[in-house]
Structure 1
Amino acid sequence: MQRCAEGKTALLDTLECLMDLEGVPMHGPVHHFIVPAALLTAAAKQSGLAAEILEQKLHTASQRAEKVLPGFCGLWACCGAALGCGIFASVWLEANPHQEQHWGTVNLFTAACLAHVASVGGPRCCKRTSYLALDKAARLAPERLGVGVGVFSKPACRRNESNKACRKEGCPFYPVKT
């Protein structure tokens, strides 16, 4: 994780580095943490947050993301990447279930990310949903959370050959052959 935080300035670079870590599968619940980790790291860089505080926030996000079960997207109808955006928002704002101030903000943030992910349709692809969720979160964070995370530049997927269920041209990140 540390390797992905150091020297990376773009949100997409951090996300790609996390996805490239050894042992990260094509699909799976690790993406429920990768998304908030990339967002927290980017927000910390943009805001000048101390490294120790970022580590605490990453630890909290990890604990929360572990509770989002595999297959949550299809079985409970809420994509873990979108929930990861909500975890980021909640951890960043230090929201909790008893607060009036941030409770609605973090839920609306999550809902917007989920709607963006859902608008593209299935079947699940944890890489695609991570890209979509970060795209929406990057556009919403400055206004809704008061922190920038940088611009999310649209990637060309380089993992499509590893995904047996890849939608190919039906995916907004499928590489265009020129």
Structure 2
Amino acid sequence: MECCEKKYMENCMVCGKPLIYLEKPVLKKCEYCGIEELTRAHCMDGHYVCDSCHAKDGIEVIKEYCLNTKSRDPMEIVENIMADSRIPMHGPEHHALVPAAIVTAYKNLTGKASDDDIIETINRGKEVPGGVCGYYGACGAGVGVGVAISVIYKATPYTPLKRSKAHLAVANALKRIGEAGGARCCKKCTRISIEEAVKFFEMEFDIRFPKGFKRENKCNYSKINRECYIGCKYRNKKGM
């Protein structure tokens, strides 16, 4: 069921007010689908939107774009998808976006992946909960790099080398994300994860993705991100 006609793309999807993050979970009902579950996040007015409802439109955008693009540049893919008005400023959509962009670019570059692989990365990525960056100590965008490698190379808990490669790629991404500082920013973490994935594929697998995508005027999200970090290398200082 839809609770309202408008969905806000920053902060609370229901009213647009800032979110509150809690140390201990509370039981809340999703304003859209009505599911009751424990959560550590709701808005100042008490609205709660579950991960599934939050990501629903964004996942469809990711799927539609990745199954139709011919781009071989994962950064171009994520930037174009993030620019879509149906992708929120923050949210678990980005956990599926990173692996989908990597596998899509890999498929278009090498021909060694399929549309089914793209769908699999999206399905795995969207299972990573929102808020894991703060509550689990591992940003979902960074984990998405490991999802991509695991899908491409058919890794399982029983494949020692492939499993290890996925772990190392995630470690590289998370290290960079941790060093970048600041509070949550799904756009920044997505970009860092893609940059580290490109480096990893080149170093470990001798696969070179194009690096020709140029972002105009730095980051277009700085002015709408309440937590935009002043030290972020992508920050659009002119737009603040």
TM-score (norm 1): 0.88
**Pick aligned residue for 2:98 from 23, 35, 45:** 35
Q: How much does 1:148 deviate? A: 3.1
Q: Distance in 1 between matches of 2:106 and 2:206?
A: 10
After superposition, give the CA deviation of every residue in 1:8-56 in whole Å (9 maximum; x if it has no partner). Answer: 343322111111234210000000011111111111122133xxx4211
Question: Identity across aligned pairs (percent)?
Answer: 28
Of structures 1 and 2, the one with the larger relative CO (CA 8 A, separation 6+) is 1
Greater CA deviation, 77-86 or 159-168?
159-168
* SS of residue matched to 2:118: helix
Greater CA deviation, 123-132 or 98-107?
98-107
Aligned to 1:6: 69
2:181 paired with 1:118:
no
Q: How much does 1:149 deviate? A: 2.8
Q: Flag structure 1 segments of 5+ consecutive residues without an equivalent.
A: none
Query: Structure 1 residues 78 and 116 mapped into 2: Cα distance closer, same or farther (>3 Å)?
Result: same
- In the comparison of the two structures, how many residue pairs are matched? 173
**Pick aligned residue for 1:54 from 106, 114, 127:** 114
**Pick aligned residue for 1:94 from 151, 154, 162:** 154
- The root-mean-square deviation of aligned C-alpha atoms, in Å, is 1.9
Q: Flag structure 2 segments of 5+ consecutive residues without an equivalent.
A: 1-62
Query: Structure 1 residues 153 and 165 mapped into 2: Cα distance closer, same or farther (>3 Å)?
Result: same
Q: Which has the higher helix share?
A: 1
Larger radius of gyration: 2
Aligned to 2:222: 160
Q: How much does 1:119 deviate? A: 0.8
**Does the 8 Å CA contact 2:181/2:229 hold for their aligned counterparts?**
no
Greater CA deviation, 26-35 or 155-164?
155-164
After superposition, give the CA deviation of every residue in 1:38-86 in whole Å (9 maximum; x if it has no partner). Answer: 111111122133xxx4211111112211221100000000001100111
Moved >6 Å (runs of 4+):
none
